[in-house]
């Protein structure tokens, strides 16, 4: 069973990961918004951030460079939101 301290540390790590992803998207895609304005469950495509398929390729490249995680063609739902991208990174990043 995890202690409160361990759970708190995990929550902080996740918060930091989401914040880094928001910054990565804003800087890498040159979005005209402040990173903090992107909500964790806000849709990235369509009526959300209005990203397009070319941005998908850029996100794949950014995530690979930053986290050494390669997003494959198999599951495009990965791009649903910041939280979904973060879930994918947590599940697939190399273990230390």
Partner 1 sequence: MSTVLTAAQILRRLPHRHPFVMLDAVTELVPSQSGAALKNISISDPVFAGHFPGEPIYPGVLLIEAAGHLCGLVMADLDEPAAPAIGYLASVKRFRFVTLVRPGDQVRIRATAGTRFGGMTDFSVALSVNGADVASGSLVIALPNS
Tokens representing 15 are 């918060």
Q: Answer yes or no: are the C-beta atoms of 15 and 4 closer than 8 Å.
A: no
Of 2-10, 15-23, 31-39, 57-65, the segment contacting partner 1 by CB under 8 A is 57-65
Tokens representing 77 are 């739902």
Overall residue count recorded for the chain in this entry: 96
Judged by CB under 8 A, the chain residues 59 through 78 that form the site for partner 1 are 60-61, 64, 71, 73, 76
Partners of 45 in beta bridges: 51
Of 5-13, 14-22, 48-56, 86-94, the segment contacting partner 1 by CB under 8 A is 48-56
Give Cβ neighbours of residue 28 (< 8 Å, ≥ 6 apart). 58, 59, 62
Task: Give 2 or 73: the residue with its C-beta nearer to partner 1.
Answer: 73
Q: Is 42 a binder of partner 1 (CB under 8 A)?
A: no
**Which residues would be at the binding site for partner 1 (CB under 8 A)?**
53-54, 56-57, 60-61, 64, 71, 73, 76
């Amino acid at each position: 069973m995890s202690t409160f301290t361990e759970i708190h540390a995990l929550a902080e790590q996740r918060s930091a990961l989401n914040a880094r992803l928001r910054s990565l998207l804003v800087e890498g895609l040159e979005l005209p918004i402040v990173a903090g304005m992107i909500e964790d469950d806000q849709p990235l495509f369509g009526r959300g951030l209005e990203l397009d398929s070319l941005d998908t390729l850029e996100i794949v490249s950014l995530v690979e460079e930053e986290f050494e995680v390669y997003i494959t063609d198999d599951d495009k739902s990965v791009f649903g939101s910041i939280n979904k991208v973060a879930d994918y990174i947590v599940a697939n990043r190399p273990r230390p």
